[in-house]
Structure 1
């Protein structure tokens, strides 16, 4: 029973997002950490993200039954009723919002709820299925967690929050396109309106190059505007340059799926490096 309720929250997504929340919080705190506030922020936004994932599982249960990688999900197999899932998602969202409101500030709550709304209503219920721009819309909600961490620590939405948002939005695009390429059969079978399905892999590779280049430029903004030091610039900037290099290799790749998996795995590595360096080399 517990395993079903755990798996329907997509724990892998929660874990990945919590890493960026921590990075954003450390950036905003600038070395003066309040551990209680930090922990409350992580738990609160984790519950909100879990809520969004359960809602997404409910909304996507029809297309999940078609795709190989998702056909064994709890709701698809009927191991949890739709009503139970909706109640569970609502409770998770309420508890997460309550904790953020109680322990952080109103700005943090507003940013978190905007992310939830975009992911569940705008992305999951419409753009994912009907528009080639679904990935772009989804990148908005995906960029919210580090901003939540930053706002929790600062109670401000300033240039630092904007740079964080831009960086994570840009990162989401090649990350998501890489998944779509190595899972192309699933996405095609489910008729999901994503770029590789609608425009082809070649066109997607060009966009991935553009987004990785833009990401590499954006990450430098943290040092340029005085939020991080030169160690961050060298390590994160160098890592971003390697991601750009790997993206260009896609133009001559013999096996698109293999290359896309490398792009995906590297995207995980680079976002961990980015989040860690925000904490380790923040300008105090």
Structure 2
């Protein structure tokens, strides 16, 4: 069976891949502070895309046992038969090796290390183990989801400093309200697939309280970036405004009578928060 290019591309989970890549670009542009090294930037972007895509393809292979049960994943290429397992494994390996080589040759070993770390956490610690066995699987997955923005930052500043860790923290904490909200409005699907997400194991009220707590942590870490000499007042004020609006929506969850509807609202505004965050930190050098 010849590989189907469109189906192979779908295995990379384009929405997930590009969503994560946006944070890499934002992390780099924030750290570069207007001084972009285009060779490094292009290699970082393409290499990181390939590593993230590799992780998503491999995760698709591992998730076949639950993808055929859940409605939203029944049309994935491995489930429909448009791609074979062997093709998926080979494609994932090719992407991973190519991406890692690009990062090794044209960025820094810090970027390579963050990329490999994120891949291992997402594919094995989250995809193969945590997702199926523990209510804390989302926490594990959030570690890998926060790796791309750190990769972008360390491409400019090799090593770990508090600003890089704060950027990592923003994306790490942000993912919890986002994916806990999904677990609420897709609760029935997760129950059917026997995936121990928070809303299934802890119940919706407790999950809602966790959403509030993690949203607050996200905002605190976001605003702490104001202490960095890289941060402009304009950036800080815009992030403060979007944070206030997000928290307003989040706190409604504590008194809502329609948890599913509220969870969808929170989910969508959390995405808006992320987009604003990435755009503003990217443009920060020009907002002074």
Aligned residue number for residue 255 of structure 2 = 252
Aligned residue number for residue 202 of structure 2 = 199
Note the alpha carbon deviations across 1:1-58, whole angstroms, 9 max, x for none: 2110110100001111111111100111111011222121111111000000001100
How far apart, CA to CA, are the structure 1 residues paired with 2:147 and 2:226? 21
Equivalent residues, number: 284
Aligned residue number for residue 152 of structure 2 = 149
Aligned residue number for residue 30 of structure 1 = 33
How far apart, CA to CA, are the structure 1 residues paired with 2:230 and 2:132? 38
> Do 1:52 and 1:119's aligned partners in 2 also have CA atoms closer than 8 Å?
yes
Structure 1 segment 68-147 matched on structure 2, within 5 A: 68-147=71-150
| Cα drift, residue 263 of structure 1 | 1.1
Note the alpha carbon deviations across 1:167-215, whole angstroms, 9 max, x for none: 1110010011111111111111111111101011100000100111111
Unaligned segments of structure 1, at least 5 residues: none
| Cα drift, residue 264 of structure 1 | 1.2
| Cα drift, residue 253 of structure 1 | 2.0
> Do 2:30 and 2:283's aligned partners in 1 also have CA atoms closer than 8 Å?
no
How far apart, CA to CA, are the structure 2 residues paired with 1:266 and 1:38? 29
Normalising by structure 2, report the TM-score: 0.96
| Cα drift, residue 225 of structure 1 | 2.9
| Cα drift, residue 255 of structure 1 | 2.2
How far apart, CA to CA, are the structure 1 residues paired with 2:269 and 2:67? 26
How far apart, CA to CA, are the structure 2 residues paired with 1:66 and 1:220? 41
Structure 1 segment 1-284 matched on structure 2, within 5 A: 1-282=4-285
How far apart, CA to CA, are the structure 2 residues paired with 1:261 and 1:279? 27
Partner SS, residue 156 of structure 2: helix
Comparing 221-230 and 86-95, the one that deviates more: 221-230
| Cα drift, residue 252 of structure 1 | 2.2
> Do 2:25 and 2:152's aligned partners in 1 also have CA atoms closer than 8 Å?
yes
Note the alpha carbon deviations across 1:112-163, whole angstroms, 9 max, x for none: 1000000001000100000011011111000000101111122232122111
Normalising by structure 1, report the TM-score: 0.97
Comparing 154-163 and 47-56, the one that deviates more: 154-163
How far apart, CA to CA, are the structure 1 residues paired with 2:147 and 2:14? 17
Partner SS, residue 127 of structure 1: helix
> Do 2:33 and 2:284's aligned partners in 1 also have CA atoms closer than 8 Å?
no
Unaligned segments of structure 2, at least 5 residues: none
How far apart, CA to CA, are the structure 2 residues paired with 1:227 and 1:255? 42
How far apart, CA to CA, are the structure 1 residues paired with 2:155 and 2:227? 23
- RMSD (Å) for aligned C-alpha atoms: 1.3
Partner SS, residue 251 of structure 1: coil
Comparing 225-234 and 79-88, the one that deviates more: 225-234
